[in-house]
Each structure stands twice: as C-alpha cells, then as structure tokens.
Amino acid sequence: MIVQSESQVDRQDVRPRPRLRERALEIGVEQLADDDLVALLVERGTEGEPLEQRVARLLREAGGLAGLCSRGVGGFVHELGLGLAGGARLAAAIELGVRAARLAHGVERAPATSAIDVERWARRRLVGLPHEELWALLLDARNRILGERMLARGGLHACALTARDVLRPVVREASSAFVLVHNHPGGDPCPSREDVAFTRRVHAAATTVGVALVDHVVVAREGHVSMLEAGLLEEER
C-alpha cells in the first residue's frame, strides 16, 4: 500500500491547470477566466475531487461569480465545503477587491444608522459560523462604516476582553463612534446576561473617553436583537 504525502496529493490536484501561476505572471490576472482566479485562491482539490472539479462545483453551487462574492467565510466553509483556511483566503480576496473598487470609484461607505444596517453587514459574515465572533464597526461622523475590526473569536468574550481592548482600535483609528456586533451560533439572538454586562462596561468606558457606543447587535439565524432598541446599553437608574 502506497501512502502519498499531502504535498504529493496537492501536486496531482493542480495538474488539470498547469502553469496557472506562471500564466498569471505572463498575461496578468485580469486575463484569466473566473474559474482560473478561483483555482488560484483555492489552490488544491481533495481526495476524489480534483481542483478543476472542485472549482466548477463551487461556482455552480454558489450561483456563479456573483453568488460567490455574496458569501462570507461561514458560507464558504459550511455551505460550499471549503476548509477554514481556504474559505478565509477566498473571502479575504473578495473583500480586498470590494475595498479597492470603493477607493477607485469613490463608492459611498456603507451606512450603519440602524440595527438593520448592522445585521445586513453581519449576516453573510457571521451567521453561518460555528463559533462566536465579536466585531467593532468603526463609524465616521455620519455613522458610515470606516473600518471593521474583529475583537474576539470563540465566545466568552466578556471573560477574555476588557473595555480597553475594545476601545483601543476605536481610538487609534480616530472613529467618531462604533457599533459592536457578534453572532450566536445556536440560532437565538437574545443577548445573555454576560453579553449585557460586558456591553454596559464598554458603554461606560466609551462615554468616559468621549467616543459613542451606538449599539451592540446580536445576530443569529432567527434574526437579530439591538441592545439599544431593547434599552440594555445602560444600567437603569
């Protein structure tokens, strides 16, 4: 019985697309077909599914390039069967393209003026994940998203993070305000007591340094909950 190493399997998986990296260098990535670009990011197939077939399946199941661009890391990993590394790499490449297009064409920054706006931002990025992630959306004076920073992964962020950890990127980027958003993989968006206590600590610290915590939105398969709308940002007096 011959056991092939992972590197040997990877080389075999790449054979249907010989010299793909070299072609990208010679003619430019803008000349490559959609499936070639995806193949460069996915990099390898799996046992029983060579790279060429895997890329074709990804595009088919996602509904083409437009559908692929609407997926987040969770969708790539759990709906399309990519590993975490491959899913993150593909999502990062798409996000870079989106940001570059905004800069090149002066596209208006996405708004975060309501919990619906925040849920729209979070749904494709967070709802499909099997673990919790806590993010800060950094806002300008018109409540448009200046930047996005992941603060914690894996849940129990209230035990692992301090208010200082949350405020550091907000202050460093000179944001006028910020929104917290995290997901509940179990499906229920209702915030836990730990979520509420953590949010109130951050809200108090942000008020002290003169930065507004606009909201903390929890998203899940069953919908979302805005702590601002639920009256949970501050302790009752």
Q: Which region among 11-15, 82-86, 104-108, 126-130 has the lowest average model confidence (pLDDT)?
A: 11-15
pLDDT band at 108 (very low <50, low <70, confident <90, very high): low
Is it the case that residue 215 has pLDDT exceeding 80?
yes
Average pLDDT over residues 67-88: 76
Is it the case that residue 157 has pLDDT exceeding 60?
no
Tokens 């670009």 appear where?
Answer: 37
Tens of pLDDT, residues 167-176: 998 988 888 8
pLDDT band at 4 (very low <50, low <70, confident <90, very high): very low
| CATH architecture entry for 115-226 | 3-Layer(aba) Sandwich (3.40)
| Mean confidence (pLDDT) of the chain | 81
226: its two tokens:
């805005």
Percentage of the chain exceeding pLDDT 70: 83
Is it the case that residue 68 has pLDDT exceeding 90?
no
pLDDT band at 117 (very low <50, low <70, confident <90, very high): very high
The predicted pLDDT at position 156 comes to 54
Average pLDDT over residues 130-159: 82
The predicted pLDDT at position 6 comes to 38
Segments making up each domain of the chain, as ranges: 6-105, 115-226
Could you give the strand order of the β-sheet that contains 145-153, starting from the edge strand earlier in sequence?
A: 145-153, 133-139, 177-183, 212-220, 223-226
Q: pTM for the full model?
A: 0.59
